[in-house]
């Protein structure tokens, strides 16, 4: 493993970590304001609408940008060529956004009478779609990763998060309604997207000219990898969004509100390790594309030994100090200590081995990854439904821990087998 590759991975991960810290710190204040204005029931309904939108988006989008992250690193290409590929990726995502909007309009029709969205206007629901989908668009983010401009992503993200918090404070004082909260979540994401798009359009590299010949980017390979990325995202829907819809239907919007807060805490606890996943994909891909597979295995081991103690310390500190921060988020969470402990254990397991998923994908194990994901997620839905029926929210969180542990165990076993085959 080259020192440069490892340092570049962790340098970019630090920048992404700072973005996550700002999002988490601001979210720490945003959640209680949101719950104070909306209430736990409307908050659960808000999450329900967002989850439906993401399901529709994922089912109709080719994640071309995932192919860019896998196929472009280590190859020669011009900046203008990269921009064209990013715009192509944007066109795929636009189809998904339109499909999500049409679905939300459809379920808002009186003929369906969906009880989980009572109290929401059609405008509220469309803005909820915007607030959910814009942060999930990966095309522009891929451009900044591939041009090694993580500082731009950091600046745009921090500004959007601060704007959201300021808008929420204003809504709480001057217009405390559900519609106002949804606007507060949607506008900052639109602002962030426009800033990233404008900077990309104006960005030039030294020596780059319009006449510069295109390099060796293979569009067919990018599309193929992007399609596999889409299949993977579809396979991940049970853990990402279908679970929320299921909890809302099996239990209630209020239960979904609690469940989502716990999963948000899972993301908060994992914030120190989550950036390493996204940033490790190009690093693993570069090593593999240049024939240094053993170096990629060495980088994988190094990340685990670094992330394991980090995840454990952060997770256990959060649990032991729960009496200090729970009252600031949602008082009702104090009654769910068992569920909190379960979600923290899940965060420790997932955070410690997060690069396992990135490395297995970068090795080209797309079909195998999809099979693993589909299998474990189908089991997750079965246990989620069964455990939720039997044990309520604690059962839902227990099913989540079971899923996380199983997915990690399978991929670690397969990677160790792959390593022995190389040696």
Report the distance separating Cα 10 and Cα 168, nearest Å.
33
Q: What is the pLDDT of residue 72?
A: 80
d(CA 202, CA 393): 49
Calpha distance 128→139 (Å, rounded)? 21
Sign of CA dihedral 392, 397, 403, 405: negative
Nearest residue to 376 via CA among 404, 353, 339, 351? 404
pLDDT at position 1 is: 41
Say how far apart CA 26 and CA 74 lie, in whole Å.
36
Mean pLDDT of the chain: 86
| Residue 95 to residue 157: CA distance in whole angstroms | 24
Contacts of 347 (CB under 8 A, 6+ apart): 266, 269, 270, 311, 315
Show the CA angle centred on residue 315, arms to residues 313 and 318, nearest 5°.
Answer: 105
Q: Tens of pLDDT along 103-131?
A: 999 998 887 778 888 878 899 999 999 99
Q: 10-residue block means of pLDDT along the chain (423 residues)? A: 52 68 73 90 91 94 89 76 90 95 90 81 92 92 88 88 93 93 95 94 68 65 86 86 92 90 85 75 81 85 90 92 86 88 95 89 82 90 95 95 94 88 73
Query: Does the CA dihedral 309-315-317-320 come out positive or negative?
Result: negative
**Residue 128 is encoded by which pair of tokens?**
């909820």
Given a contact cutoff of 8 angstroms between Cβ atoms, the answer to whether 264 and 24 are in contact is: no
How far apart are the C-alpha atoms of 284 and 43, rounded to whole Å? 39
Q: Which burial class, exposed, middle or buried, applies to 209 when counting CB atoms under 10 A from its CB (0-12, 13-18, 19+)?
A: exposed
> CA-CA distance, 195 to 153, in Å (whole number)?
10
pLDDT of the residue at 394: 94
pLDDT at 91: 94
List the beta strands (DSSP E) in 202-349. Answer: none
Domain extent for 288: 3-422
C-alpha–C-alpha distance, residues 78 and 240, integer Å: 35
Helices marked H in 175-218 — which ranges?
178-202
Q: What per-residue confidence (pLDDT) applies to 365?
A: 82
252 backbone dihedrals φ, ψ, rounded to 5°: -175, 165
Number of H helices, E strands in the chain: 18, 0
Is residue 227 within 8 Å of 301, Cβ to Cβ?
Answer: no
CB atoms within 10 A of CB 202: 7
pLDDT at 3: 43
Contacts of 173 (CB under 8 A, 6+ apart): none
C-alpha of 126 from chain center: 21
Residue 190, exposed/middle/buried by CB under 10 A (0-12, 13-18, 19+)? middle
Quote the pLDDT of residue 31.
86
What confidence score (pLDDT) does residue 289 get?
Answer: 80
CB count within 10 Å of CB 61 equals 27
If you ran DSSP here, which 8-state letter would residue 111 be given? T
Query: Domain total for the chain?
Result: 1
Beta carbons within 10 angstroms of residue 328's beta carbon = 11
pTM over 0.75? The answer is: yes
User: Got the DSSP string for 4-47?
Assistant: HHHHHHHHHHHHHHHHHHHHHHHHHHHHHHHHHHHHHHHHHHHH
């Amino acid at each position: 493993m080259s020192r440069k590759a490892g340092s570049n991975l962790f340098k970019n991960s630090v920048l992404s970590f700072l973005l996550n810290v700002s999002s988490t710190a601001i979210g720490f204040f945003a959640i209680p304001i949101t719950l104070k204005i909306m209430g736990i029931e409307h908050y659960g309904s808000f999450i329900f609408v967002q989850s439906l939108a993401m399901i529709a988006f994922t089912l109709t989008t080719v994640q071309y940008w995932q192919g860019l992250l896998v196929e472009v690193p280590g190859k020669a290409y011009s900046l203008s060529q990269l921009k064209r590929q990013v715009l192509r990726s944007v066109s795929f995502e636009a189809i998904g956004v339109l499909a999500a909007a049409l679905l939300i309009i459809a379920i808002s029709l009186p003929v369906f009478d969906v009880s989980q969205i009572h109290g929401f206007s059609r405008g509220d629901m469309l803005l909820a779609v915007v607030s959910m989908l814009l942060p999930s668009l990966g095309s522009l983010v891929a451009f900044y990763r591939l041009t090694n401009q993580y500082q731009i992503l950091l600046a745009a993200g921090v500004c959007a998060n601060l704007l959201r918090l300021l808008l929420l404070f204003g809504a709480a004082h001057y217009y405390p309604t559900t519609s106002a909260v949804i606007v507060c979540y949607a506008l900052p994401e639109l602002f962030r997207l426009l800033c990233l798009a404008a900077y990309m359009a104006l960005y030039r590299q030294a020596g780059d000219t319009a006449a510069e010949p295109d390099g060796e980017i293979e569009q067919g390979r990018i599309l193929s990898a992007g399609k596999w990325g889409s299949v993977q995202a579809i396979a991940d829907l049970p853990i990402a969004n279908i679970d929320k819809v299921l909890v809302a239907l099996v239990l209630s919007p209020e239960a979904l509100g609690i469940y989502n807060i716990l999963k948000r805490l899972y993301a908060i606890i994992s914030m120190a390790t989550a950036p390493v996943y996204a940033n490790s994909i190009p690093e693993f891909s570069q090593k593999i594309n240049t024939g240094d597979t053993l170096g990629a295995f060495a980088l994988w081991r190094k990340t685990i030994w670094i992330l394991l103690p980090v995840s454990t310390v952060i997770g256990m500190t959060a649990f032991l100090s729960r009496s200090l921060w729970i009252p600031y988020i949602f008082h009702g969470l104090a009654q769910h200590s068992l569920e909190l402990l379960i979600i923290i254990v899940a965060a420790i397991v997932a955070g410690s081995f997060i690069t396992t998923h990135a490395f297995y994908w970068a090795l080209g194990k797309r079909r195998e990854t999809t099979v693993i994901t589909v299998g474990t997620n189908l089991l997750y839905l079965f246990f989620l439904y069964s455990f939720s029926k039997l044990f309520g929210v604690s059962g839902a969180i227990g099913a989540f821990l079971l899923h996380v542990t199983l997915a990690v165990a399978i991929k670690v076993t397969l990677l160790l087998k792959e390593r022995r085959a190389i040696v």
